[in-house]
Amino acid sequence: MGNGGRVQLQRERELIAEFARRLRPDGLVIGTAGNLSVRSGDLVAVTPSGLDYDELTPATICVVDLEGRVAQGRCRPSSELPLHLQIYARSDTAAVVHTHSPYATVLGTVVPELPPIHYLIADLGGRVRVAPYATPGSQELAVHLEVALAGRAAVLLANHGAITIAGSLVRAYSRSLLLEWLSALYYRARVIGEPSLVGDEEVARVGRFLREYLGTDRDAP
């Protein structure tokens, strides 16, 4: 164990274990297809591979460096860790939530973007882009992610799932819930007709208001 045996990123690991246990009841994952991470300095705490979410405790959360090397104890990080590291390498975001949530995943196979169906999409930075499919962890996907996430806090991954980012795990997680809700809203609206949309200028205005009201400048996309 490195660092003289001191437990690293304890608070981050507690948070990840807490939110990972919420993934299933919140309808964000099927099976164990979902993973969370938090960066602190040059270390990242991330959910482990192959463990049931209900079994997760702070001690089971992996700590890795920015190259993905396990920094403490014996641990097998999520197989989707490269996805998280690619985002940390290209932005200064502090938390990443990745899921295969049902409606967001459906939309990613059909539409080129999630349009402003509701004003709250402002919290995601506006229209949510769909990153074209590429093998998870590949350099190709890293490039797609960078393009799709520019100025945004969320992205749909074609034929894969969804990602949200924020300055804190609490906020990244709430954005995943929002993205899934917006995706379901859009899907349902399209079933019965062509939904009306909120203008991009109005979304930008609401975004400014949310940042002022919530004091989330640090978390802004």
Least separation in angstroms between CB 30 and Zn ion? 11
161 binds Zn ion (CB under 5 A): yes
- Residue of 80, 113, 201, 202 marked active site: 80
Least separation in angstroms between CB 106 and Zn ion? 15
Residue range at the interface with Zn ion (CB under 5 A); choices 14-22, 75-83, 122-130, 145-153? 75-83
Cβ closer to Zn ion: 116 or 161? 161
Least separation in angstroms between CB 111 and Zn ion? 19
> What is the C-alpha separation between 104 and 163, in angstroms, rounded?
10
Q: Is 80 a catalytic residue?
A: yes
CA angle 35, 37, 41 (to 5 degrees): 165
- Residue closest to Zn ion, measured at CB: 161
Cβ closer to Zn ion: 80 or 219? 80
**Helices and strands of the chain, counted as H and E runs:** 6, 8
115 binds Zn ion (CB under 5 A): no
Q: β-strands 34-40, 95-99: how paired?
A: antiparallel
Least separation in angstroms between CB 104 and Zn ion? 11
**Max alpha carbon distance in the chain (Å)?**
61
Nearest alpha-carbon partner for 15 in 44, 33, 40, 36: 36
Cβ closer to Zn ion: 95 or 117? 95
Residue range at the interface with Zn ion (CB under 5 A); choices 123-131, 144-152, 160-168, 186-194? 160-168
Show the tokens assigned to 91: 């932005």
> What is the C-alpha separation between 114 and 108, in angstroms, rounded?
9
In degrees rounded to 5, what are phi and psi of residue 24? Answer: -70, -50
Residue type, 59: A
Q: How many residues bind Zn ion (CB under 5 A)?
A: 2
Catalytic machinery residues: 80
Binding site for Zn ion (CB under 5 A): 80, 161
